[in-house]
Structure 1
């Protein structure tokens, strides 16, 4: 069982961890991207990339013969921040974050032009004392650099503070461990759909299991 007093600070992922989007939105985006690239994406392929089920999305795209740079360029051109936000919902079990009485940070692969409207739409902007949307410059999870950047902004980077990072992907667990933090893996899609189990210091299907 995880109690708030066990940790001096919390870090969290966004998509798939605190929020998710309606499947109809995901399906439509992949239809449009597929039209741009001249390649159809199946429901399973869309699910794998959207949720990062096989680890590195770029590596998975390359295995399918899709250039990651072309894919992401098309993907971001097709995404409308307003529509994305309107199709996003907050997981009820994530509401515990609002009650944390310790520094809280957000470390997400969701790009800033998409993340900011989502935070406003679901009303969770004020949950975080620091936020970082990963880029090529900041590095990507599981690299520890973006995590350490947020820790430094929170003032907990080098003072012996004990922290935890919670996310829905293997990259979140890797980033936590690489940065010297404990890791909570919340399994939103199910082990069967993922095709494997993701290890973590805590493995839950809902944050409600932590209390």
Structure 2
């Protein structure tokens, strides 16, 4: 990737560079379901976790689950150590560590979890800045968290945001970057086609 034409790089985390073991997803949704009095199916859990089938909050509402209550319970049941232990790095994402250009991470994963995952995988030094989305920063496709990351990089030139969901491509375009979509799931699973400036099956294809 050091030979790429891009001067600035922004990456999503979950589903793009890392993922978690299926057993962990199941355990989280079982505990959230216990709190909410709702039994999530395997398909529902996978869909919400990986952002398959469209907007997460719209899916929750269609099942009769209030998004605010869901996300509160979701964040309360996750343990940083357990999350980090269940997380693995995609082999094709290792090239990110070789990028010789300003590099940022912008993730919906909360800071208390992100810090644990980056530390466990020993990839903190891959990124010059990390922005964890919150209500105050906004959530992708809102460009604000990406713009905060770019401001911290303090670098000019053309840039790209690499992510695994349509909200990542939207955030890239809204922030004036190219969008590279890494598809980790089949079109049948996702339920839609994500169009970006680059369509990848592996992160290292962008080199």
Pairwise TM-score range, normalised by the shorter structure: over 0.9
SS at match of 1:132: strand
Of 147, 151, 176, the match for 2:172? 176
Query: For residues 53 and 191 of structure 2, what CA distance do their matches in structure 1 show?
Result: 8
Q: How does 1:63-142 map to 2 (within 5 A)?
A: 63-142=62-141
Unaligned runs of 5+ in 2: none
Contact 2:2/2:98, CA 8 A, preserved across alignment: no
Query: Alpha carbon RMSD of aligned pairs, Å?
Result: 1.2
TM alignment of 1:182-197, pairs within 5 A:
182-197=178-193
Partner in structure 2 of residue 8 of structure 1 = 7
Q: Distance in 1 between matches of 2:175 and 2:52?
A: 22
Distance 1:188 1:87 in 2: 18
> If the length of structure 1 is used for normalisation, what is the TM-score?
0.95
CA contact (8 A) 2:2 2:100 kept: no
Secondary structure of the 2:4 match is: helix
Contact 1:55 1:171 (8 Å CA) reproduced:
no
Q: Deviations over 1:85-111 (max 9, x none)?
A: 000000010011100000000000000
| Helix, strand or coil at the partner of 1:94 | helix
Task: State the partner residue of 2:52.
Answer: 53
Shift in Å, 1:186: 0.3
Corresponding residue number in structure 2 for 1:206: 202
Provide the C-alpha distance between the structure 2 equivalents of 1:118 and 1:36, rounded to a whole number of angstroms. Answer: 25
Partner secondary structure for residue 26 of structure 2? helix
Secondary structure of 1:6 counterpart: coil
Aligned to 2:162: 166
Give 4+ residue runs of structure 1 displaced > 3 Å after superposition.
2-5
Q: Contact 1:55/1:169 (CA < 8 Å) preserved in 2?
A: no
TM-score (ref. length: structure 2): 0.97
Cα offset for 1:210? 2.4
| Number of residues of Structure 1 aligned to a counterpart in Structure 2 | 207
Q: For residues 132 and 39 of structure 1, what CA distance do their matches in structure 2 show?
A: 32
